[in-house]
Every structure is written in structure tokens, then in C-alpha cells.
Amino acid sequence: MKMTIYSCETHINHALDVFVAREGEFPIMELLSDDKKLSTSCTYCEEAALYIVANK
């Protein structure tokens, strides 16, 4: 199953923990592009997302 988490700086460790717990493998972690940073908020708070955590 495809899983995608957007995360700010504060929640990136939590996002990685949640991903590994659910998927049983380490995710791909990438920086969001500048245009997406402006329009995407963190999955866990209202901050702008900096990272995208997902499987391939």
C-alpha cells in the first residue's frame, strides 16, 4: 500500500517512526520542492511541510 507523509522539521522523526511501524521498512525521505513547501502542510501540525516521506 502506498503511504505518503508530509512533515515539518519538528515531526520528521515521528513521521519516520510511524512509517517504519506501519510499513516495516525504511522510507524514502526527500525535501519538498520550494513551490510545494508553500502549499503543503505537515501531517501532524499546521506548519509548512519540509519533507515528504514515502515508499517507492
Beta carbon of residue 23, minimum distance to Zn ion (angstroms, whole number)? 20
- Give the closest residue to 56 by CA, choosing from 23, 34, 32, 33: 23
Beta carbon of residue 11, minimum distance to Zn ion (angstroms, whole number)? 4
Q: Write out 16-34 in H/E/C secondary structure.
A: HHHHHHHHCCCCEEEECCH
Q: Which is nearer to Zn ion, 11 or 27 (CB)?
A: 11
What does the DSSP 8-state code read for residue 48?
B
Q: Which of residues 16-45 bind Zn ion (CB under 5 A)?
A: 42, 44-45
Provide the binding-site residues for Zn ion, judged by CB under 5 A.
8, 10-11, 42, 44-45, 47
